[in-house]
Amino acid sequence: MFIQKLEIKNFRSIKELTIEPKNLCALIGPNSVGKTNILRALDLVIGEGWTTKAKIARELFLDTTKPIIIEVSFVSPITFTNKRGYEVSVSSVKLEMTLEPELSAKTTINGDNTFYDQEQFKKLCHFIFITSERQLTSELRVSQWTMLGKLMRLVYENYVAQNSGNEQDLKNKFAEKIKPAKDFLEDDFSEDEVTFKKFVNAFKKYCKENSAGLANEFEPVLDIYNLNWFYKTLQIHVKENFPDRHFDSEEVGAGMQNLLLVSIFQTYAELMGGNVIFGIEEPEIYLYPQAQRALYKNFIKLSENTQIFYTTHNPNFVDGGRPDDIVLLRKDIDRGTYLLEKDNAFNAENAKKQKHKIYTHFNPERNELFFARKALLVEGDSDKILFSTLCENKWNINLDEKGISIIECGGKGGVLYFLGVCRLIGFDNYFAVWDKDEDLENTGLLDEAKNNSKGIELDPNLESVLKIPDGDNAEKVKNAYEWAMNNNNNVPEIFDQVKNFLEGEESQNITTEIEKEDIINPDDIPF
């Protein structure tokens, strides 16, 4: 069960948005662009509970005079036999909500057909939303609202079904199996020691005495052997090899708790056999880098049978070799939340062909390109340290506050490469700096950037412009840093373009299609 298309209109920051997600769908973008709103929309239309008038709130509407429309279309119809014995086939589910002229919430299937068999549908298809505000300790407990509780309830129901649906028969078998343990616990083995039997007798005695006038025949039930409770009383412990100790899940750190929670999510996905779609915010929370990478690999594996939507700000959860998974989002006043339109060449087939390039060009630091509001593309470490230090020491520009990433591209050819990547992903908020001293066969994108005031060429190189000694990479970095830290040095006028770009407002323009085929050389870009 997979979503083929998601359409959202007039919901929170979203004016109109259409996504055609893959099995693994990474919602990428700066803070506050509306990534979470997409997950909330999915939760409203196919979440575990049905959206009624009670869930309608004014803040859900971008324009209160217009309806909210959220529609999900599936890759393959979801079919089942309803309670009346009729075959039902669901290709799409649509939710419409209105405030004006009257409050309403209506869920339909396959266009406009009224949907009566919601509960049966939810057993075959439902969305689970895990927010970034993890209530870790509560999620690790068994209740009807947690994934752990849902799993244990399913376990219990299957045991009942195994006994021909006779719940009492199962209880009798369970009571027989557990009787030795019960007899052991209820053995009053000492007159002086506190035992379970003494606790029960004393507790019941005081309950009876204290209930006078409040209830007739009041008696607490302390039956810890009831089968009804075996699936509700599961506790998770964590064992350390050295020293050999056990901890309750509530006692371990937030990182370990998140690992436990995500492991439950993975278990649920596997055991439900594809009948569930997950939405998870920031899966990387509390996890160290190695655990982040391991979790991302598990996401890829799980997505073969279970669709996963996730938001992230972590470069470890983006893979340039899986471009179809990436949904790049931005927001402005006119359009609200919108997609950066990727070039058709930015696809899995071409990525596979250019795997070697992607492997050598992309890394977690360069992956920041997918998250940045702006990107300054430079050749090497010396360029990066120079402009970072200028921003901090002379220009008073807070790069992190403005959402700017300086991407070290690995040479002039790398700058050309990432200009191509920017073109392919529809990202236009970039500026490039490169040296003239290296000859390339094709410089179309470099020339275009320079002609459009989106790049500068240093003649012949950075060291020459700054009038500092050349050398190996370490010496270049040291010299560039010391130059930038020297308040007596005047910044070359050519760098004014860089400063203006960094200080200026974020561009709202998307890369045009003009002469794209003539400008981009397939040998210079990944796809």
**Residue 137 and residue 249: Cα distance in Å, rounded?**
7
Report how far apart, in Å, the C-alpha atoms of 53 and of each of 106, 107, 214 are.
9, 11, 40
Least confident of 41-45, 142-146, 225-229, 286-290: 225-229
Q: What is the mean pLDDT of residues 396-423?
A: 94
Are the C-beta atoms of residues 127 and 46 closer than 8 Å to each other?
Answer: yes
| Tens-digit pLDDT profile for residues 53-91 | 889 999 999 999 999 999 999 999 999 888 788 888 999
Long-range contacts of 87-94 (CB under 8 A, 24+ apart): 88/117, 88/120, 88/121, 90/121, 90/125, 93/45, 93/46, 93/121, 94/45, 94/69, 94/70
* 375-395 per-residue burial string, b: 16 or more CB within 10 A, e: under 16: bbbbbbbbbbbbbbbbbeebb
Amino acid 506: pLDDT: 65
Structure tokens at 325: 């998974």
Question: What separation in angstroms does the CA of 264 have from each of 244, 270, 285?
Answer: 24, 10, 16
Alpha helices in 23-133 (DSSP H): 35-46, 118-124
Percent helix, strand, coil in the chain (nearest 5)? 40, 20, 40
Using DSSP, state whether 177 is helix, strand or coil: helix
pLDDT greater at residue 154 or residue 485: 485
Residue position matching structure tokens 């403005």 = 402
Average pLDDT rounded to a whole number, residues 37-41: 97
Query: Which residue ranges form the domains of the chain, and what is each CATH number?
Result: 3-135+254-317 (3.40.50.300), 147-235 (no CATH), 356-519 (no CATH)
pLDDT at 267: 81
Rounded CA gap, 193 and 183, in Å?
Answer: 17
**pLDDT tens-digit series, residues 307-352:** 999 999 999 999 989 999 999 999 999 999 999 999 988 888 988 8
3 state DSSP class of 220: coil
In this prediction, residue 219 carries a pLDDT of 65
pLDDT of residue 119: 78
Where b means 16+ CB within 10 Å and e means fewer, 294-333 reads ebbebbeebbeebbbbbbbebbbbbbbebbbbbbbbbbee
Residue 374 has pLDDT above 90, yes or no: yes
Q: Where are the beta strands (DSSP E) in 103-262?
A: 104-109, 113-114, 126-130, 237-240, 245-248
User: How many percent of the chain have pLDDT more than 90?
Assistant: 47
Q: Does residue 362 have a pLDDT over 80?
A: yes
Q: Whole-number mean pLDDT of the chain?
A: 86
More confident residue, 522 or 275: 275
What pLDDT does 412 receive?
Answer: 94
Q: What span, in angstroms and rounded, lies between the C-alpha atoms of 441 and 312?
A: 37
**324 in Cβ contact with 348 (< 8 Å):** yes
pLDDT digits (tens, 9 = 90+) for 297-310: 988 988 998 999 99
Mean pLDDT of 88-110: 93
Instruction: Give the Cα-Cα-Cα angle 472, 475, 476 (nearest 5 degrees).
Output: 80
The residue-averaged pLDDT of 439-454 equals 91
Mean pLDDT, residues 162-177 taken together: 83
Full-model pTM: 0.82
User: What DSSP element (H or E) covers 196?
Assistant: helix 196-210
Ranges 157-171, 441-455, 505-519: which has the least confidence: 505-519
Phi, psi for 512 (deg, rounded to 5)? -75, 170
12 Rama sector, left if φ>0, alpha if ψ -120 to 50, beta otherwise: left
What is the pLDDT confidence band of residue 514, given thresholds at 50, 70 and 90?
Answer: very low
Q: Look at residue 495 and tell me whether its pLDDT is greater than 80.
A: yes
